[in-house]
Amino acid sequence: MTEDADGIPSVGATVHDTARDRVGRVMGHIGPYVQLRPLAGGIEWDADPNHLRPLTPAELLSARVAEANARSRQQR
């Protein structure tokens, strides 16, 4: 996970929001919060950067497989 000088994840990074137990992609930053969106799309939510952690390689793989599966179900 790439971060800026303040330790906030960069736009496009995939992180785990430990406060909500959700995985999301960083879409932006507003004030003290980071905006995350579910990998398969959907409504963004605000997250406290102190509650974000990078995904392990296994978690990232699992999240990407789940995203691909969700896309394949929508295209039918």
Nearest Cα to Cα of residue 14 among 50, 64, 70 = 64
Going from the C-alpha of 5 to that of each of 1, 18, 67, the distances in angstroms are 13, 22, 30
In tens, the pLDDT along 18-66 reads 999 999 999 999 899 999 999 888 999 999 999 999 999 999 999 989 8
pTM, 2 dp = 0.82
